[in-house]
Amino acid sequence: MDIYESAVDEVAAAGYSRIALGVEYKGSRYKGWQRQADGVRSVQETLEKALSRVAASPVSVLCAGRTDAGVHACGQVVHFDTQAVRPERAWVMGANAELPHDISVTWARPMPADFHARFKAVARRYRYVIYNDPIRPAHLGEEVTWNHRPLDVARMAEAAAPLLGTHDFSAFRASQCQAKSPIKQLHHLRVTRHGQMIVIDVRANAFLHHMVRNLAGVLMAIGSGDKPVSWAREVLEGRERRQGGVTAHPYGLYLVSVEYPQAYALPDRYIGPHFLTGFADLPS
């Protein structure tokens, strides 16, 4: 937890309105979500500058999940507190007029004072997109991970099955992970092929640092035949990161959805990324 996610931000102060936003972005040009002390480009700082212009006062935002450098989002949720009064449309259109082309605000809603983008979330969902072809793609080069070796999706899906449920995912967390507990509940982990695209779709109550990329790395090693199907379970039960192979590239990773209690009535949007929305056979 950092200074921008401290306990004082759990409830909006008197005289302030709490606003929630849906945000999507391409992470390729940014050093991750979180504002950096050395002033390098981050999604958070870029969004805050745009919202501050709309509010005509400083705005600090808190997000549902801090994405790494190169990672994208279709369904990021943030909130901020402000004394500025603006219609929902003004927050959306005003922010987008100030933002660069690779960040967009998709919706805005006034929220109860106790809403918190991070702490009130009950589930998060990611998609990891692999372009599986001998030739590297000239398009979507920063939006997908290219794997030139043939990947067996059936083997990958079989290997994923033992990872479902509540487990200690220590073997899938980065060494710098700050989570208090490695125990997470994986609700689904689906692996499907759509032409040259392979999509790893994973939903959990929360994720560890690099957890999805480490899951993807293990499944690709199994799909290529380098490792047996049983290896995913062995890595999980070993609980040691050094046994889990390489961390997959960030470019194919998307935060696609964050879920909250129905009482907050946040807008529903399609599950991205955009270039997959026409795939009728992709599980919703």
- Residues designated as active site: 68
Two structure tokens written together for 46: 């870029």
Residue 98: phi and psi, rounded to 5, are -100, -15
Give the strand pairing for 123-132 and 145-147.
parallel
| Cβ proximity of 163 and 186 under 8 Å | yes
Residue 203: phi and psi, rounded to 5, are -130, 135
Peptide bond connecting 273 to the previous residue in cis, omega within 30 degrees of 0:
yes
Two structure tokens written together for 130: 């692999």
Name the nearest CA neighbour of 74 among 28, 112, 125, 31. Answer: 125
Burial of 233 (0-12, 13-18, 19+ CB in 10 A): middle
- What is the rounded CA–CA span in Å between residue 41 and residue 236? 35
